[in-house]
Structure formats: structure tokens, C-alpha cells
Structure 1
Amino acid sequence: MKKVFDRLNLNKAKIWYILLLLLAPLVSLLAIESIHRGSFTAALKWIQESSAAFVISYLFFLLFISTVLFIPKKLFIPFIILQLAFFSIVAFGSYQKFKLRGDYLTPTDLGLVKEGAAFANVLNGFLSVKMAMMAIIILAFIFGIVYYLMKITEPLKWKIRLILSVFAIAGTAAILLNPTVFSIRASAVGNVEEYQKLGLVGGFLNLKEESKVVHPTEYSKREINKIVESLPETEGVDEDFKPNVIVVLAEAFWDPLLLKNLSFEEDPIPYFRSLTKEHSSGELLTHIFGGGTINTELEIMTGMSTRFLPEGKESYNAQVNRPIDALPHVFRNQGYNTTAVHTFKNWFYDRNLTYKWLGYEKFVSMEFFSNPKMIGPYIDDRELMEQTVEELKKTEGPDFINTVTVSSHGPYDDIRYDPLPSCKNTPQLTKVPQYVLDLYCQVLKETDDSIRVLIEGVKELDEPTMVVIYGDHLPMLGYDYAVYREADYFKSIHAYEDYLKLQTTPLLVWDNYSEGKKEDLRMTPNFLGSYILSHAKRDKSPMFAMAEKVYEEGTHVIPKKPFYADEKIDENKLKEYQLLQYDTLFGEQYSYKKNPVKPHDDYFLGSEKMKITKLKMTEKDNLKVTGKHFVSNAKVFVNGEQQTTIFNDEKTLIASVPEKFKGKELEVIVKVLDDKENSIAESNGKKMMME
């Protein structure tokens, strides 16, 4: 062996360098898979059960690391550590998501980085001093390894490294462009199985490949026109009857009394439950757990199903990038005012853009709530309901309002209440899960009372009104389903019975005009929009007419594909529905040619547009700005510069003006800025001389 090394001109330091090149991918792969699977033992088991995927994964890391083999050693060795750190962070994030929500990282999750960052300050329960200390120790260990490797290794000749890098770049590209190589000897279906059988890299690349939208062979203008023409005309439309319609997304709203192994002294949602006894109510089988609110919301608003989207592409807002004939547009075409009200950031889930495409006239986000009462980090939902009622009061004609709550958002291990009332359940759970359940019960009580505020406010108006209330998904009650597991709520996330338990939320349709007709409801969100239009006696667009047709033919829920047989789903009956959805989201929108869909020309953010009517300098050389519709977040800008602003009320703002502006003409405008310092609303401009 020594003679072989001598002929190849390999000394001990170069041999160490080659060993580093061969072992670094193996160590990286084992570390990353151990993190992603929760243990080193699970990683070893994967190697035994999916040996082909393991070999391809090792080859990927070997090639990926070798792509920069041509760079100097002082950069190459740190690169090895950096790639390990990067993939480890991705693996950790994906594993955390799996433990919290039951599925791993998807390609569309990468587009939700800003949403994750927005909740980062809330997710403090998963961080600890121990974890911080562990991170410091790991970093110190890594620096030690880098220093040691720098001392004992000597790189190969540069020409050899360059040739190897070229081959490595070509090999890496080949794998990235052909991710199916990971599944040569292992077939996998669905997010969880993809990752568990193919590994982190193989699972992600396969999901990315599967998330590509495939052009249906039967898609054509003629076929879409045929489908639209075959749809039945809407029955029961009453042009003389236009009730207000309020759709309330109740964040993580669920019934804890379904935890049958626990007994509760108090009902956390007594008001809501009392309404279900007198009005149409039932179950909404959502497609998400613990998060992904926008998916349920947009299914209801559009009549389309995320089940028709490719695996890994279910982040619905990412697909809405052009006008859609959604509920707001349908109602607006029939003489309604259309408003969205939400007590969180305007840009979250791109709602500020998405709502425009859906046909809303305006969007009242959290930035337009003046000095609201807070519950922990969130605006009290009662403020939201009061604003919803105000929106009803200020308009002429009927209203369609989409109200999206947030104060019941998880996780539920923070300090929102001090002291925190007990949920009064027996038996008690272990310390942390019990705290989570106690906090969730308390936020449910707040949500329940906010529903009372809305219903009582609507009753006082004495206008025909329908209020639809639904839970967007089950709450994320602790790490790794902690509360659900301790309460023995489900056995396996793969069984259909337990799938239903983890995806089904409450649904209520309250109104003051249907004369006591009560229905027991069960449906997936994509069918609720057409039900709302029927109940309001309104005409339907092709998509909602299609949803109604499928519903009337007996398909009330569209679950995950593996569970189609459990619901006796005939896929052939869904083909036209799927094709119409493809036309709307990805195709030429042939179904809109006769009735073009356009956003509202004057769509804006805020409840009302701010207006300056008068400017005046006070005795203290402050600028008094008089007008209307100002909010507490409003800022006065003078000659393009933001000034310190005091909010007196919706008619008056006081701004400090620097002496440098004396003797100059002032151009004043009022703006509302969000937390990204973007201007999301502006008043008219007004000028005056500062003497």
C-alpha cells in the first residue's frame, strides 16, 4: 500500500485530505438524517431499509462538496462545515414542523420565510438556555475541528482538484435535474413517506419535482366552454333580497370537550355551543393541522380545493397571482360592498395582494386599529368583531365581510395571562401539556365572547344577516401532539378515523331570516362558498356552480387521496372540477371570457381613506393636522420627511416640525407605515407656509 501511495505521490497529509473528502459526506449525511428523524438509531434503520436512497444521498453530498474542491484548503474546509450547518438547520426545521404539524418541509414553505419570522417572537417555548449553551459548545467544537483539519491535511494538485470539481458540478446537476434516482428501489407517496423513505435531500427534491403543475392533456378552450355550458343555472336567486354576509375564520377554533378521556367542569365555548343548537351547524373537514390558515380561507373564498394541487404546492396564496372569481367578486357583482378585516400584519400570507385579486374593495389590517386592547402579542378579537359591526354600519346596501381572527393563535406555552386560569379538567395532564391546555381553554373563552359581541352587534342592526363561523384548523397543542397524546385522543396519524379527528373543526351558519330551518352540515372548505351563496340566495359563478354540482351529486368531502375509498370518492366525478380549477389558476381562464374578472379599481388598505382638510401651526410651533379617518399608526410627513407624530383622535394629529423648515413652504401628507416601513395608506397632500 505504501508503494502505491509513493507512486501516486501521496504523503500522509494528502491521504488525510482524501479521507476527509470521502468521510465528510458520510458524516454530513448521518448527522442530517439523525436530526431529521429524531435519532441516530432512526437514521441507521433508514440506511438498512432504503439502501439505494442512502447510496444516492451519499453520492449527492460527495458531489456537492466536491463542486468547490478547486478552492484553497482554507476555504474548502470551512465550506464543509458550513454546508453541514446549513443542511442541519433545514433538517431541524423540517423535523420541528413534523413534530408540531405532522408533515415535513415542502417547497412552498421556502416562500413563507417572512411569515415564520413574524411568529418567531411567539415561538419562545422551544428555545431554552440549555439549547443556547449547546449551540455554543457545538460551535466551539466545530472551530476546533476546522483548526485540526487545517493542520493535518494537504490538498491535491490544483489541476486534479479542478477536473474533479468539473465532474462534481456535472454530477450534482444530473441529480438535481433527475431526482427520481432517489426512488430507484423505493416508491413513496405523500410528504411524510417521501422523506422517510428517500431521506431529506431525496424527499425534498422529489416533492419539488411532484409540485410542478402538469398541463392536463384534455385541457382546451372547447372543453372548458363545454363544462361551463353544462353547469345548471343557479336556483332560488332573489334579486329583492340581499342579506349581509359575514364569514368569520376563527383561528385554531376547536372543541376541547372532544377529548373524551378528560372531564371538564366548564364549557370553554358555551355561547357558540348554544348557537349550534338553534342554527345550522356541523363539521368542516379541513386539509391542514396546526397551521396554514390561508389554505382553508382561500378554499372557502374561491370554491377550489387544495386537494387538486400537486403535492408540496398546497400553500394556496402562492397560486393566486391574478384575478379570481371568488366570493368577494361574486358578491360585488351583485351589488354588495366587500371588505376583509384581519387583526394581523397586512403582508402576512400576502393578503394585501391576494385580497385584491379576489375582488375585495378594501382590507382593514391590524395597522388600522387605533390603540387596540391586546391579549398577549395579539389584538383582542372583540376589537375585531366591533370593527366588523362598524363596517356594516357605515355602508349603504348589503355587505360581504371576511373577518379573520388571530388572538387564539398558538403556540400556547407563552405568558398571555397572569395568573392563568385552570381549564378545570380531570384527570390533570403533566405540567407542560396542562399549561398548554389551560391557555388554550382561556383563549377559546375569549373567542367565544368575541362571537357573542359580533352576534349581538348584528342583532342590534336589525338587518337580514348571515354569519358563518368556522375553525381553520385544529390547535397545535404542544410539541409532538402532547395534549392529544396524553389525552389518548388518537392512535395513529395514518388511520382514517384519526385523520378525521385531527382535521375536523366546528362550523356554524347563523342567520336571522331563515325561519328556524336547521341543517346538520359536513363538508370540506371548498364546498362552503357555494353553500353560502345558496343560503344568501345569490347567483353563482362557474366555479361555485361546479362545487354545488359535485356536492349535490353526493361528494361532500374531498379528503387526502389515500382516503378516497373511505369516503367512496369517484375520481371521474371530480375531473371536470379539477379541469375548471386548472383553467382558473394556471390556464387561460377561458371560463371568464364571457364575464371578465377584474380587481376593484379603487382597492385600498384601511377602513376609510385618510383626508387632510386643514393645516395650522400651534403656539408651540407644532403642526396641527386636521382631517378625518386618521389612525393611531398614522405618521405626518413634511417635505418627504417623517415627523414625530401624536395621535389625538381620528380627526387630529400633532407633529413636531424642525426649525429648518421655517420660512419655507411645507408639503404635508399623512401615511400609515407597516412594520417593514412600507407605506400602505396615504392621505391627500396639502401645502402651507411656515413663518
Structure 2
Amino acid sequence: MKQKTKENLKSIRSYMINNYLISVLLILVIEVLARHSLTDGIRFVWDHPFLILLSAAILTAFYALALLVPKRNFVWLCITVVIVGLAVTNSILLCFRITPLAATDIALLTSVFEIMGIYLTVWQIILLVLLVLVVIAGLIYLGIRMKKQVYHPLLAVCNAVISILAVVLMIHIGDARGWLQTEFANLPDAYADNGFVYCFTRSLFDRGISKPDTYDEDTVDNILEDMKKQTTNEVEEKPNIIFIQLESFMDLKRMQGVTYSEEPTPVYSSLRKTCPGGFLKVPSVGAGTANTEFEILTGMTLDYFGAGEYPYKTVLQDETCESMAYNLRELGYRTGVLHNNTGSFYSRNKVFANLGFDYFVSSEYMENLSYNPIGWAKDKVLTGQIQHILKATSEPDLIYTITVQDHGKYPTELLENPHIKVSGFAPEDEERQNAFTYYVNQCHETDAFLGSLIATLNAFEEPVVLVLYGDHLPNLDITEEELASGNLFQTEYVIWSNKKMLEDYELSKKNENLYAYQLSAHVLKLFGMNNGLLTKFHQMYHNYDNYKSNLKILQYDMLYGKKEVYDGLSPYEPTDLQMGFDPIRITDVSSVGGSVYVMGKNFTESSFVFIDGKKQDTVFLNENTLMVSDKELEGGEEVYVAQLTDVSAQLSSTEVFIYGD
């Protein structure tokens, strides 16, 4: 018996040693793929011995799981396929954006399907699908054919536990010695410094905000002490407030050595000179729109969340959160979001209810959309949408607007007859210059949209304040050295107001650089508004030494703790979020000449007829009429209309109409 146990232990030890060596080789391959360079990958492995030992231990711990099942060779193969698949995915992803692959990206898969056609050609998508199917079919075949091995459950469990404990111990040692990063404020830099295996694994388990060491009821009370003494201001006149989050938009004058055939963004440049504003520190570069959005709306920083985490896809799926929308609703504002892209992206159609918005108008509820050469909706459609809402409401409005036109992937082929020509790039950077030329021309059109919007708002009788800011710099491989001012994590913001606002309020012309999570509190302070705990906190304490550590305590308490700030119970309930400012509805249904006609209001090309629960091939005739050809109704059928995304996700629907009733 003892001899058999010794043999089993020897077999497992040999298995683990072999896997450790294989893991070291895998890490070299992974880093070469991640860095798109053989020499850079080898240099990273050579310069970071502890990280390589730790990363190999992590992979070996995963391989230890294969010993828990009889067909360990098959499970080993599956684990290897997953590891290599993640490495290849990360390598491909870094061709399109700056941010590496993190575990939270898996939660965004449904959103990826909606925009895949912009980044890949039809043939590339077909080949990708075929490759995935071949891999799955191959694994199924091997899973059937591969034989079982001798199975030692107790020894396998002990080995797995020891492997995991070894990883935990190494992380503890690395953290104590300063060899590892445990907080990833800058995800691309963290992956570059710590390697893909460690960072991605950390993103698997590192979610939410860790409990601060000093968190307790007394600490929270001490933070709130001065804020509780400050009453919420009474606000007599309430301006309409419009935030516009400009996709990948930047002041193009910041690019050193790049020249343009004419001023690409004359409206924005004029605003930068004449209006209050400054640099805005955002949480990401080249991607991560929803995280900038989260910081602006909530006043919370992403610094304390998990590596690469999107709160929209984690905590805000189920939790409400104090936000600018909730705070302004207390003052009688109607709160809504406009976005000329699909409504289900980043689960916005679900999350905005937990952020206090009354309505959400996505592209599925907009008419007269036009598209740029790579398929993103142009921003000019938003002027009419904003104007319609301002005219339709009697109460003051908060309209949070998210543009999309300037989004990548930026084509590397030269545009045919571009309106604005770009020069200044080295001859070997021709493809990058072409991509930048495309981007500049899209920014030029977005700038024209801003000019049109400002002209519209200038003629509006009610006071309006307009806050413009970029969500992140574009994914164009811009380096710090190429920027004349600011850094890669800084966009800009500008605050403009119409004539009546200038008469009623004194807007400071002093420029002030801010973090994204400070912007909403900063704007509200200009008009004497201080609703909300985090609004008061930012307005009162942003210059204090313990500002950020106290902010972490408040964020933890609000989202994950005991909600001491609210005396144990959050006052925020999810809103009944209405999709579309003017909801779709049916007024009548007729069956004539072998076709069904559905009459109603506010239909768009994303409106589809359902009869007895089945989706019908629907022809959009106009905003009041939809047609279903080759269909007749006999009476009693249940008819409704639903707004669907490009992947047929339902955003909203009308009430059921009973034909012939």
C-alpha cells in the first residue's frame, strides 16, 4: 500500500514539474503575442524572474485541476486550449484598442456581437466562427477517444490545494516585497509591468471594492460630520443641464508636429478659448467609455474597483447608486439619456434605471440616422433629439448625451478626397497617418454638430448649460511624447451657457483641471446645487489630504458595506426606465389585401411586429405605419410591436393589441 502511494505521489510530482516547465514556455509565447514582438517578450521574461515563477505557478495550479478527473489528459488539453485562446484573443484585441483583455470583457460578449461587423469583415467573421467550431468539434472528438488515467482523488485534491496555497503565498511575498502591483489604476501599464497571466488571473477574482482597513460606523460618521452640518441648498432657478460625452474626442492642437489643411474643430477651439474648462483625468485610454461615464454620473472613482472592472456589468446590474440623475430628480428635473448607438451596449438599458434616469433614447428610437464610412451613426442626429426634449418638457431637464461617430476602428487606407488633409507623420507611418486623417475628419463633423447644437440652444428661451468632454483619447497609438500638453489619460472639458445663463449666473473663466469623478459636482456647484452626499463631499473636501482614502470608504459603504451613510438603507429605488422619449404604441391594426398594417406612433426602422408571440418580417413605412406582407388575420390574434437591436435583443414593446376585439 505504501509503495503504491509512493508511486502515485511520484507520478503526480512528475506531472506537476512537467506542467511547470510547460507553463514557463507558455508564458513566453503569451508575452510575445501580447507585446507583438519576439524580442520584447523575451526581454520581459528575462527581466522579471519572480513574475515568471509566479505566473508559471498560476498556470500549474490550473493544470492541477486536471488531476481531479479520470480523463486528466483531455482536461489538460482543454485548459491549454483556453490559455492559448485567451492569449491569441488578447493579442488580436490589442490591435484594435489599448486596453488588454480582462475577465470583465467576457461579460461584454453580447455587446461585442453587436459591433463585430465594424471591426471585422464578413469573411473574417465566417473564418472565426469556423475556427471556433473546428476547435470545439476537435475537443469533443478527443474527449470521446481519449482514455481515462489512473485516478487518485484524495491525492489530487491535496495537490490542487497545495498548488493554490503556493500561488497565494507567492502573491503575499511579492506584495510585501514590492515585486507586484495589487491595484491597477492604469490597466495597460499594469499588464506591461506584470504580465498577462498574473493580471488576467487577478481580474478573474478581483471584483468590487475591498473593505478598507479603517472602515466602521465611527469612521463613516467622522467623514460625514461636517457634511451633515451643511444643508442642501435651495435653488430658485434651475437651468437645463446637458452633458455631452464626446466619443474619442480631443483638442487636436495637442498633437505635436501634426498639421492640418484647415482648422479641424473651429467650434471646439473657440469654446476652449472663451469658456471655463480644463483637462479631465479619465480612467482609460482608447476604450472604456462606460467607465468614464460611470465616474461622471456617480462621482465615484474606478481606482478602487477590480482590475479592468466595468461596474455597469457587475455591481450596477443589481444595485442602485447615488448619481447626478438621482440628485437632480430631487430638484424636480426630468432626467434622460441620448445615445446614437444600440441601447443594450454595456447593458445601459438595464443600468440606467439603477442610476436614476427617467428615459433612455438609443439609436433604435431615432429617425433619420446617417452613418460614417465604417458604420457608426453620425452625431448630427442628436441636435434634433435634444431640441425636441427641451421643447416637450415643462420641468428642467438633465440630458446626458453620449456620441459615437468618432469611434474606431480607424481605417488605414487613405480616404478618397478627405475634406481635411493631415501631414507631419514619418513616411513609414503612412497607415497611421491615414487612420489619423480619417479620425480628424470625423472630429470635424462632430465639431459641426456642436456648432449646430450651440446655435439651437442660443435661440432657446430657457437657461441652458452645456458640458462637453471627451471620454478618452482615440486608439491611435498616441504616445506621451506626441502630446504638447496633458497626458494620455487626460481629455478636456468645456462649460458653455446660452445668453440667458450668462445674464443670470457668473460663470468662472478660471480653468481648473479635474478628475472625471469630480466634474458633475464641479458643474452643480457653479449653480449653487449640492444635492447628494458625494456631491457635497467633492465640493467640500477635494483639497484635503485624506480626500481619496475617505472617498474609498464612502464608495465601499454605499455599494458593498452597511450603508451607514444612509442609516443602513439606501434611499434610491430603481426608476421605471422608459425606452424612448416618446414611447412606441399601437392605435389600430388592419388586415387588407393579404398584408397586415399596424398603425401607431413613434415607430422606427428598429420596430418589428409580433403576432401571437412570433416575430414577423416587418416593413417600416413611416413613423406611424408598419406592414407585414403575405399575412392575413382572422380575428383574436395578439399583436404587439417591439424595438429590437441588431442582434434581436428586445428593448421595449407596446401593449398587446387584440385584432378584431
Contact 1:667 1:686 in 2 (8 A): yes
Match of 1:511 in 2: 497
1:489 aligns with 2:485: no
Match of 1:336 in 2: 333
Change (3 A) 1:57 1:360: closer
The whole-number CA distance in structure 2 between the counterparts of 1:312 and 1:426 is: 34
1:576 aligns with 2:519: no
Q: Residue 665 of structure 1 aligns to a residue in which SS?
A: coil
Contact 1:182 1:198 in 2 (8 A): no
TM-score w.r.t. the length of structure 2 is 0.83
Change (3 A) 1:596 1:58: closer
More off after superposition, 403-412 vs 607-616: 607-616
Give runs of aligned pairs for residues 204-215 of structure 1, distance below 5 A: 204-206=200-202, 208=204, 211=207, 213-215=209-211
1:501 aligns with 2:487: yes
Change (3 A) 1:573 1:29: closer
Aligned residues: 630
Q: CA deviation at 1:529?
A: 0.7
Q: CA deviation at 1:434?
A: 0.9
Q: CA deviation at 1:37?
A: 4.1
Contact 1:466 1:511 in 2 (8 A): yes
Change (3 A) 1:19 1:285: closer
The whole-number CA distance in structure 2 between the counterparts of 1:23 and 1:459 is: 68
The whole-number CA distance in structure 1 between the counterparts of 2:560 and 2:232 is: 32
Aligned partner (choices 527, 531, 542) of residue 533 of structure 2: 542
Q: CA deviation at 1:295?
A: 1.4
1:254 aligns with 2:250: yes
Q: Residue 502 of structure 2 aligns to a residue in which SS?
A: coil
Contact 2:336 2:399 in 1 (8 A): yes
Contact 1:64 1:168 in 2 (8 A): no
Change (3 A) 1:418 1:319: farther
Q: Residue 68 of structure 1 aligns to a residue in which SS?
A: helix
Contact 2:468 2:494 in 1 (8 A): yes
Q: CA deviation at 1:44?
A: 4.0
Aligned partner (choices 16, 34, 37) of residue 36 of structure 1: 34
1:200 aligns with 2:191: no
Q: What amino acid sits opposite 2:32 in the alignment?
A: S
The whole-number CA distance in structure 1 between the counterparts of 2:434 and 2:285 is: 20
Q: What amino acid sits opposite 1:390 in the alignment?
A: H
Contact 1:194 1:207 in 2 (8 A): no
1:388 aligns with 2:386: yes
Contact 2:464 2:497 in 1 (8 A): yes
1:463 aligns with 2:451: no
Q: Residue 653 of structure 1 aligns to a residue in which SS?
A: strand
Aligned partner (choices 276, 279, 290) of residue 280 of structure 1: 276
Q: CA deviation at 1:397?
A: 1.7
Q: Residue 224 of structure 2 aligns to a residue in which SS?
A: helix
Q: Cα RMSD between the aligned structures? A: 4.0
Contact 1:285 1:503 in 2 (8 A): yes
Q: Residue 231 of structure 1 aligns to a residue in which SS?
A: helix
| Structure 2 residues not aligned, in runs of 5+ | 1-6, 8-13
Match of 1:589 in 2: 563
Q: CA deviation at 1:87?
A: 1.5
The whole-number CA distance in structure 2 between the counterparts of 1:26 and 1:427 is: 39
The whole-number CA distance in structure 1 between the counterparts of 2:414 and 2:52 is: 45
The whole-number CA distance in structure 2 between the counterparts of 1:43 and 1:648 is: 57
Q: Residue 375 of structure 1 aligns to a residue in which SS?
A: coil
Spell out, residue by residue over 1:516-555, the C-alpha distance to the aligned partner (whole angstroms, 9 max, x if none): 742313111111111221233334211100011123x3x7
1:187 aligns with 2:175: no
Contact 2:312 2:351 in 1 (8 A): no
Q: What amino acid sits opposite 1:665 in the alignment?
A: G
More off after superposition, 343-352 vs 39-48: 39-48
Contact 2:297 2:520 in 1 (8 A): yes
Change (3 A) 1:216 1:24: closer
Q: Residue 626 of structure 1 aligns to a residue in which SS?
A: strand
| Structure 1 residues not aligned, in runs of 5+ | 1-7, 9-15, 148-153, 491-496, 556-569
Q: What amino acid sits opposite 2:613 in the alignment?
A: G
Aligned partner (choices 512, 521, 525) of residue 530 of structure 1: 521
Q: Residue 338 of structure 2 aligns to a residue in which SS?
A: strand
Q: CA deviation at 1:405?
A: 0.2
The whole-number CA distance in structure 2 between the counterparts of 1:86 and 1:299 is: 33
Percent identical among aligned pairs is 24
Match of 1:49 in 2: 47
Match of 1:639 in 2: 612
Match of 2:648 in 1: 677
Aligned partner (choices 304, 324, 348) of residue 351 of structure 1: 348
Change (3 A) 1:679 1:20: same
Contact 1:643 1:657 in 2 (8 A): no
The whole-number CA distance in structure 2 between the counterparts of 1:55 and 1:239 is: 60
Q: What amino acid sits opposite 2:33 in the alignment?
A: I
Change (3 A) 1:164 1:587: closer
More off after superposition, 504-513 vs 55-64: 55-64
Q: CA deviation at 1:343?
A: 1.3
Change (3 A) 1:159 1:596: closer
Contact 2:562 2:568 in 1 (8 A): no
Aligned partner (choices 216, 219, 229) of residue 220 of structure 1: 216
The whole-number CA distance in structure 2 between the counterparts of 1:263 and 1:612 is: 54
The whole-number CA distance in structure 2 between the counterparts of 1:345 and 1:372 is: 12
Q: Residue 86 of structure 2 aligns to a residue in which SS?
A: helix
Give runs of aligned pairs for residues 65-80 of structure 1, distance below 5 A: 65=63, 67-68=65-66, 80=76
Aligned partner (choices 236, 245, 262) of residue 240 of structure 1: 236
Q: Residue 150 of structure 2 aligns to a residue in which SS?
A: helix
Q: What amino acid sits opposite 1:397 in the alignment?
A: E
Match of 1:611 in 2: 585
1:264 aligns with 2:260: yes
Q: Residue 211 of structure 2 aligns to a residue in which SS?
A: coil
More off after superposition, 268-277 vs 531-540: 531-540
Contact 1:612 1:683 in 2 (8 A): yes
TM-score w.r.t. the length of structure 1 is 0.80
Q: What amino acid sits opposite 2:617 in the alignment?
A: T
Give runs of aligned pairs for residues 392-471 of structure 1, distance below 5 A: 392-413=390-411, 418-426=416-424, 430-471=429-470
Contact 2:220 2:554 in 1 (8 A): yes
Spell out, residue by residue over 1:560-580, the C-alpha distance to the aligned partner (whole angstroms, 9 max, x if none): xxxxxxxxxx3x233332222
The whole-number CA distance in structure 1 between the counterparts of 2:403 and 2:414 is: 17
Change (3 A) 1:304 1:219: same
Q: CA deviation at 1:428?
A: 5.9
The whole-number CA distance in structure 2 between the counterparts of 1:610 and 1:576 is: 45
Spell out, residue by residue over 1:567-602, the C-alpha distance to the aligned partner (whole angstroms, 9 max, x if none): xxx3x2333322222222222323234995334653
Aligned partner (choices 600, 604, 619) of residue 627 of structure 1: 600
- State which structure, 1 or 2, has the greater radius of gyration over its C-alpha atoms: 1
Q: CA deviation at 1:657?
A: 6.1
The whole-number CA distance in structure 1 between the counterparts of 2:163 and 2:530 is: 54
Match of 2:626 in 1: 653
Spell out, residue by residue over 1:143-165, the C-alpha distance to the aligned partner (whole angstroms, 9 max, x if none): 9xx99xxxxxx99x943777875
Aligned partner (choices 86, 89, 93) of residue 93 of structure 1: 89
